[in-house]
Copies of this chain bind each other. A is one copy, B any other.
Amino acid sequence: MTDSYETLKASIIALSVAKKYATLRDVLATMNAPDIASLFEDLEEVYVTRLFRLLPKELAADTFVEMDSDTQELLIKGFSDNELKEVIDELYVDDAVDLVEEMPANVVTRILMQADAEKRNLINEILRYPEDSAGSIMTTEYVELRPKMTAEDAIRQIRRSGIEKETINTCYVTSKKRELIGVVNIRQLIMAQSEVTMEEIMNGNVLSVKTTDDQELVAQQFSHYNLIAMPVVDHENRLVGIVTVDDVLDVIQEETTEDIEKMAAIVPQDKPYLKQSIFELWKSRMPWLLLLMISATFTGSIINGFENALQKFSILTGYIPMLMDTGGNSGSQASVTVIRGISLKEVDFEDLAKVIWKEIRVALLCGLTLAGANFVKLLTIDKYLLGLSGISVSVALTICLTLLITIACAKIVGCTLPLLAYKIGFDPAVMASPFITTIVDAISLLVYFKMASLILGIG
């Protein structure tokens, strides 16, 4: 696929250089907007504006929406006012809003000047909704029907107005006050006898979200109810827009990326990785690194406190990384499983006892397996093959018991912290590997030295 893409790109460049515009127009017209957009992002600047002008109006607008903001900005700067107006007229309101949010101030002014008054008002209205709210991702283009309309009226209304609507698959029935009272899908309209009214066929049990609801909640509703569109109402239950499933796919990807970043001790960023400057990357990575480094210092001071013990049984030092790492990994497994369970709504705070009980038993199974394997390895490979003379049965016991207890503590801490964070309204994703690892490191050392003092009589 990449190869054929490279071939296509090469021939388009060759055609551009040769100024074969008629051929180019035909080639581009056979392509899909997202593919043309990717192609334009890879082309040199001089070709982009020239090729864009060859696209039919509607394809041009669709392609424009799919491009990254750098290419969009480049194009807008090359546009005459008339060209800009043509593109903006073709844009859906939600796409126009996305554009305005990405562009620098001077470009935004030009865009709003070229938009007609109605569109400008709609754009400004959506811009007022809080970031990541249902209002900010909705579009105001939908089909609105009245309860007394017949199926024939409805289809006529769709034919008259529908061509501009982003989706006509679901139509909404509203009262005179524009309150949302029902939903009719296109299937029902086509199936219905022409004289049947909307109130007879509509589903009055209609799901909706409020403009101020979080986009993550909207995405959950789409998954839970298998929707392709969802109405957005204001606080008086008046219909003000719809959210469509293609935007929800983007929301899901965005929210997942945020979760994954938080789990890796990164402060989430809006931009894709390759678009972030090194200072932006630095800013998103430093806070947690610094905080975790300071916490790790405390772990270090535990070692300092047991300096004498380690001097006497220096063989113990070499097993610190293994104990800390295995503890950290065990804890991460539990925490990440629970975090994902929470975000998929499979696990809730009420399951805490069930989860802890499960993790304790898994920890014992994992701990016994690993401790057993280690015990054998210590007394065979390490003692005889590697010739570590410091290893005795009591040393091996110290290490293996520490391992068992550390794994148990790690799993309990790992599954508990995300659920507690969730309960008190913090983001559970933060309670993942890096954070858990730091806590478990300290625990493993404390257990280690406690065991050493009990079994080996030092400390």
Contacts and interface: CB of A to CB of B under 8 A. Distances in A.
Nearest to A415: B273
A274 interface: yes
Contacts of A304: 315, 317-318, 388
A437 B354 contact: no
Given A224-B34, A329-B288, A336-B260, A274 B369 contact: no
A286 B369 CA distance: 8
A325 B293 contact: yes
A163 interface: yes
Contact of A321 (B265, B290, B324, B377): B324
A186 interface: yes
A289 B366 contact: yes
Contacts of A317: 303-304, 307, 310, 317
Contacts of A15: none
Contacts of A289: 326, 329-330, 333, 366, 370
B437 A190 contact: no
Contacts of A273: 337-338, 340-341, 346-347
B300 A191 contact: no
Contact of A433 (B252, B264, B322, B441): B264
Nearest to A350: B2
A24 B314 CA distance: 72
A197 interface: no
B296 A321 contact: yes
Given A265-B333, A325-B438, 10 more contacts: A226-B249, A264-B336, A265-B332, A272-B346, A289-B330, A293-B326, A300-B319, A320-B321, A325-B441, A328-B437
Given A168-B187, A300-B320, A324-B321, A347 B274 contact: yes
Closest 9 pairs between A and B when the two form their complex, measured CB to CB: A264-B336, A226-B246, A296-B322, A304-B318, A300-B318, A299-B321, A296-B325, A282-B365, A303-B318
